A = this chain, B = another copy of it.
Amino acid sequence: MPFVNIKVTGGNEAPSAEQKAQLIKGVTDLLVKVLGKNPATTVVVIEEVEMDNWGIEGKTVTEIRSGK
């Protein structure tokens, strides 16, 4: 019954459909293995966040990637 939300940068850093499928499978398997959770009700939601909208160190990722 767990719920997992994964936020990553999108735009030209966005994961492919194949990578998203691997993340969903991998996280679900981990919850089954570590906690014995039921995969049938384990929900994983991936959110892709634009680089203007993600900040770290007080800067947007857009600023960081452009070397500002």
Most B C-beta atoms less than 10 A away, residue of A31, A43, A63: A43
A13-33 interface code vs B (CB 8 A; 1 in, 0 out): 001010111111111111100
Main secondary structure of the interface of A (DSSP, over half): mixed
Contact of A41 among B4, B15, B43 (CB under 8 A): B43
**Interface size of A in residues (CB-CB distance below 8 Å):** 50
Among residues of B, the one whose C-beta sits closest to the C-beta of A58 is: B28
User: Given A4-B5, A15-B35, A41-B41, 11 other A-B contacts at CB below 8 A?
Assistant: A1-B43, A1-B54, A2-B7, A15-B34, A19-B35, A20-B53, A20-B55, A23-B34, A28-B55, A46-B55, A48-B53
